[in-house]
Each structure stands twice: as C-alpha cells, then as structure tokens.
Amino acid sequence: MTSLKEFRNEIIIYGIVMAAVAEVVSLFIIGPNALFSVGLAAGTAVSVLGFIILVRTGETLMEESKKSPILLGYVVRLFLYGAVFFICIKASLPCGFGCGIGFVTIHFGIMFLYGIVYKFIKKKKNPLNDWTEPKEWNDLSVYDDEDDWPTL
C-alpha cells in the first residue's frame, strides 16, 4: 500500500489539475475574467491547505490517539474557508463563484482519481480497496434489537 504522503500528494496534484480544467472551461463560458481566476486560485489554495490539515490531524489521531487535534483542525479549516470566501465574495460575485469552485477541486480530483482512473483506466491498483476477496457482511435486519447482534 502506498504511503500516506504519496497518497496525499497524488490527490493534491489531481486537485490542481481539476482547477486548471475549471479555469479553461470558464474561459469558454464567461470569457477571461481576472477576478474569477483569483477566486479560483484562492479557493484551490485553501482547499489544498485544508486537505493537508485534514491529513495531518488524521495522522496525529492514529499515532497519538488524541482527539483534540481533530477539533482544532476542524475549527482552523472552518475559519480558513469562511474567511477566504468572505473576502472573495466582498471582492466581486465572480471572485466568490470562483472561490466556491476552488473549494471543491480536491473533491473533483478524488472523484476523478478513484472513480475514473482506477475504475476504468486501471492504471494501477486502487489503494483504497486493498481487500483480496469480497467481504461478507451480516444482514442486521434479521435481528430484533441490538442485543441480538453477533459479536465482531
């Protein structure tokens, strides 16, 4: 399985590629608009930074079993997203719209990478699916209440 740093970097690269694709598409839809591009760049930068913070807090949770970094990371990410969006929307509506699109570039990158590249192109094995055989799941609808559930 790939290391977490390689995993993170691959997602960030695909997120930045998705931002570039969004910029090219916007040139055909709204034409050249500098404020939209600034908003898209700001939203993408915050999205990448938020993803790095999310990965770092996840690493901290796994290594140290502390929950406080998770809450702190969430508050920092929430403040970053809110502050950047507020600044962009105050600058102009196209800037705010670009910022909103920039916020989801990491999500588009993940969907493209693990939904299209690994599913259809099969460039390499999906690191998110490291099962060698299908898992058998219990059908919990056959039990009356939680006390009857089988132990794991």
Average pLDDT over residues 73-94: 91
Give the pTM: 0.73
Give the mean pLDDT of 97-109.
90
pLDDT at 138 over 70: no
pLDDT at 115 over 90: no
| Cα 54 versus chain centre, distance | 9
More confident call, 81 vs 135: 81
Q: What is the pLDDT of residue 30?
A: 85
Q: Render pLDDT for 120-137 as a digit per residue (tens, 0 to 9).
A: 766 666 555 555 555 566
Per residue in 22-76, pLDDT tens?
A: 889 888 888 888 898 999 999 999 999 999 988 888 888 777 777 777 888 888 8
Contact 85, 100 (CB under 8 A): yes
User: Do 15 and 44 meet the contact criterion of CB atoms below 8 Å apart?
Assistant: yes
The secondary structure of 44-55 as a DSSP string is HHHHHHHHHHHH
d(CA 54, CA 86): 22
Q: What are the tokens at 4?
A: 């977490």
In contact, 29 and 94? CB cutoff 8 Å: no
